[in-house]
Amino acid sequence: MTEKKRTFEATMAELEAIIKKLEADDVPLEDAISYYEKGMKLSKWCDDKLTQVEKQVANIITEDGEFKRVEIEGE
């Protein structure tokens, strides 16, 4: 696992937390603006994650730990 690995779930959770914060009345305007900017950035990240990813392939892992590509039928 790489150190700065961001997961989709965590990012969505963060985005939802930001929305929650904006719902509160007493949030200062400066904070609200930075929340909004952060939220937009997060939602773009999620969007990118879903749209511009390369399709993964399935591998068979042999007992020696070697990879063998598998063709997926019905595509």
The residues with which 67 forms a beta bridge, in sequence order, are 61
For residue 40, what are its two tokens? Answer: 């937009």
By CB under 8 A, residue 54 contacts other proteins: yes
At 62, the amino acid letter reads T
Size of the site for other proteins (CB under 8 A): 40
CB 67 to other proteins: min, Å: 8
By CB under 8 A, residue 9 contacts other proteins: yes
By CB under 8 A, residue 40 contacts other proteins: yes
Nearer to other proteins, 3 or 25 (CB): 25
| Biggest distance spanned by C-alpha atoms of the chain | 60
Pairwise CA distance, residues 71 & 75, whole Å: 10
